[in-house]
Amino acid sequence: MLLVSEPVLGAEEKSALSDVVESGWITMGPRVRAFEEAFAAAHGLPDCVAVSSCTAALHLILLAAGIGPGDEVLVPSLTFAATANSVLYVGAKPVFVDIESLDVPLISPARAEELCNERTKAVILVHYAGALADAAPWRALAERYGLLLVEDSAHAVGVEGPGTIGDAAAFSFYGNKNMTTGEGGVVTARDPALLERVRLMRGHGMTSGTFARLNSRTPHYDVTMLGFNYRMDELRAAVGLVQLGHLPAWNATRRAFGRLYRRLIANACPDVRVPFSDEHACSHHIMPAILPAGVDRDRVIERLRDAGIQTTIHYPPVHSLTLYRERPDIGPLPVTEEFASRELTLPLHPRMTPADVEHVVEVLAAALRDQGAHPPQT
């Protein structure tokens, strides 16, 4: 089966894990700090805090910034549920915003401004597929309304720009991301004080961790705030350091395959739309394709699976999920709903070959022809 995503793991990661085991220290320690410094440097950022997941990162950002009950946070519905869930974690209300268009499936600044009121305190931008949101309109909107601007950069690891657009950013290293630690995430923030609050909150609000107390030769510590067990461990940090070293090459491969997909789809499947322009700054985390209107997507999925090709959907709109669809005051999101009903995610990862991309497009074209979609022009 050609998978939608597949991590690249091998001897280097095994060696790094073995070194941690042999060191005798597996909880948060020097490798976590080394990973934080390396990740920040690789993204042109002054510092970051490693945590247990991107979900934890989003939760901590909102909490550290003082977002809470009575506040509203603007979020896209075209995202993973964790984006909106993090708003619920702090007792605030997620307000769903439509995307710009089928070609630019990012949260719309214009629609976001229409939804702003005195309760609106923050907005979470999702860099869908790793394509970066345009900084200028969002910074202007945040300044006009005094909003906290948060980047959900789960898809955008390794591309220049995330962490510099908003006030804070959350990254993911889940198993299907461009680099992985299995589970894990990172927080970056413009305000060093906010980042320091996040650093304390990830470890129960304790003024020192176990490794720090060992090296300072004192068992004493204080708890200065309500915190959580959101720490990264040495095992994940060791894998992350190896993965980070390969990330530029892996992202370059993804970019090359993305361009090949775009060219082949234009020739073989002219009715299929590929979001974003080829010039859009992007980490090419996933390969979304918009099927022609009226096509039975499930039949296409089945045809591809019969050919040994996995596909998936990014995403079922959050506002349509059981947890959210009963909530009041969810406005119409027509562009999000159309995009979500026609989107199909094709395989894209560094373990693929150009021949794999060609095979996917050939089978996709055949599946569409079976349903009467326009054949390629000759």
**Cα separations (Å) of 28 from 24, 31, 184, 208?**
12, 8, 12, 11
Query: Where does CATH 3.40.640.10 sit in the chain?
Result: 11-241
Residue 334: what pLDDT? 97
Residue 43: what pLDDT? 96
Which CATH number describes the domain made up of 11-241? 3.40.640.10
Query: How many beta carbons lie within 10 A of that of residue 127, not counting itself?
Result: 25
Distance (Å, rounded) from C-alpha 154 to C-alpha 314?
13
Distance (Å, rounded) from C-alpha 305 to C-alpha 292?
19
Yes or no: domain 247-370 corresponds to CATH 3.20.20.70: no
Residue 376: what pLDDT? 54
Q: Which residues are 1's β-sheet partners?
A: none
Which residues are catalytic, by number? 177
Query: Which among 140, 143, 138 is positioned nearest to 126, based on CA atoms?
Result: 138
Distance (Å, rounded) from C-alpha 3 to C-alpha 336?
26
Residue 148: what pLDDT? 98
Distance (Å, rounded) from C-alpha 180 to C-alpha 285?
12
What is the bridge-based pairing of β-strands 49-51 and 185-189? antiparallel
Residue 377: what pLDDT? 54
Residue 278: what pLDDT? 82
Distance (Å, rounded) from C-alpha 114 to C-alpha 122?
14
The pTM of the full predicted model, rounded to 2 decimals, is 0.95
Could you read off the pLDDT tens digit of each residue along the chain, which spans 378 residues?
A: 999 999 999 999 999 999 999 999 999 999 999 999 999 999 999 999 999 999 999 999 999 999 999 999 999 999 999 999 999 999 999 999 999 999 999 999 999 999 999 999 999 999 999 999 999 999 999 999 999 999 999 999 999 999 999 999 999 999 999 999 999 999 999 999 999 999 999 999 888 766 676 676 677 888 888 999 999 999 999 999 999 999 999 999 999 999 999 999 999 999 999 999 888 899 999 999 999 999 999 999 999 999 999 999 999 999 999 999 888 778 889 999 999 999 999 999 999 999 999 999 999 999 999 988 665 554
Query: Where does CATH 3.90.1150.10 sit in the chain?
Result: 247-370
